[in-house]
Amino acid sequence: MSTESPLALSVLDLVPVRAGQTSAQAVSASLDLVARAEDLGYRRYWFAEHHNMPAVASTTPPVLIAAAAGRTSRIRVGSGGVMLPNHSPLVVAEQFSALEAIAPGRIDLGIGRAPGSDPVITQLLFRSGTTSDVERFPDHIRDILSLTSPEGATVRFSSGGEYQVHATPAAEGSPEVWLLGSSDYSAQLAAALGLPYVFANHFAGAGLERALELYRTAFQPSATLSAPRTFVTANVIASPTTEEAEERALPQLRMMARLRSNMPLVPLESIEQAKSAPLGASADSIMAQARASWFVGSGSDVAAELTAFAAKHGVEEIMISPIAGAYETESLDAADGRAQTLALLAGAVLPIAA
């Protein structure tokens, strides 16, 4: 096998919660997975931000990133992403400057513009007194870039006075800031600010080609980035056989159907539960539509499809969201299907880990 890989792989984790599984077990399984990803040669491992969902435990990316940094020594760890309208820019800057101090040179701050939840949760988050809002998103990105830099930010008052603000008192470096999005807006903003950009293809495949073209053609070099830098995300399941992979896709597909049909949300079903209780024709249609954009199959087949997908869109990195469901006999403290996906793809795509 070549010592250099033509395609880098990374991981996006929502910390899924299975039926009968506790939050502690789900988090433990994900932390085992990030250590495994490092051993296998994955480039980075990001945690998403979602709130009040029975099947998702990734509510606080900075906490999970700190835990992941403590379990690893080489892989980059970060957020995919922090939903900035939910938070004060200063608090985000302080959190990620602290993470950069914990794991220097390994922290990614991926930032999104969506709330990541429903309007009720959004209002609860606003009760903390945050000044963030969607309309001021570009200004808040600039604030974070300044606050996390070693130089800090300068606050100027109408009276002519100035005040220096630092997210941490003596920074040597800064987290790497990425803009995340699923629309033209984020692509254009990343281009204007000279920031790296990720299109959220794992849940919004429509518009991918246009967003990447807008980003690349409008990109303005910045102090930290001289040329466009981007990768794409994908929902992925790799198993020893195609039949097993398709079975492992069922719990996540059914969760998508519930979400898009406004059905009650539940923890991820086991594969056996998913096979035993059909949701109906409308749900089947939603599942078929979602499945069409996923990468599901044997390790070699999925590796080939991901390599072709990367070549088509001109990227050298794919961030996979390993969404394999679990059989009832599998341990609640582990994520066997997700770990299997990482291992099979690493064996087919990545160089052998040192």
Domain annotation covers residue 206: yes
Task: Give 264's contacts (C-beta < 8 A, 6+ positions apart).
Answer: 258
Q: What is the CATH number of the domain that holds 117?
A: 3.20.20.30
Domain annotation covers residue 299: yes
Domain count of the chain?
Answer: 1
Domain annotation covers residue 272: no
Domain annotation covers residue 55: yes
Domain annotation covers residue 249: no
Token readout for 83 is 């939903």
Token readout for 10 is 């990374």
The predicted-structure confidence for 234-289, as pLDDT tens digits, reads as follows: 999 999 999 999 999 999 999 999 999 999 999 999 999 999 988 989 999 999 99
List the one residue out of 290, 294, 311, 292 whose CA is nearest residue 302. 294
- Band the pLDDT of 353: cuts 50, 70, 90: very low
Token readout for 255 is 């969760």
Structural domain harbouring 303? 8-243+295-349
The predicted-structure confidence for 84-122, as pLDDT tens digits, reads as follows: 988 899 999 999 999 999 999 999 999 998 765 666 766
CA distance to 25, 68, 76, 199, per residue, from 291 (Å)? 28, 30, 29, 19
Domain annotation covers residue 251: no
The predicted-structure confidence for 143-164, as pLDDT tens digits, reads as follows: 999 999 999 999 888 777 888 9
Domain annotation covers residue 281: no
Domain annotation covers residue 54: yes
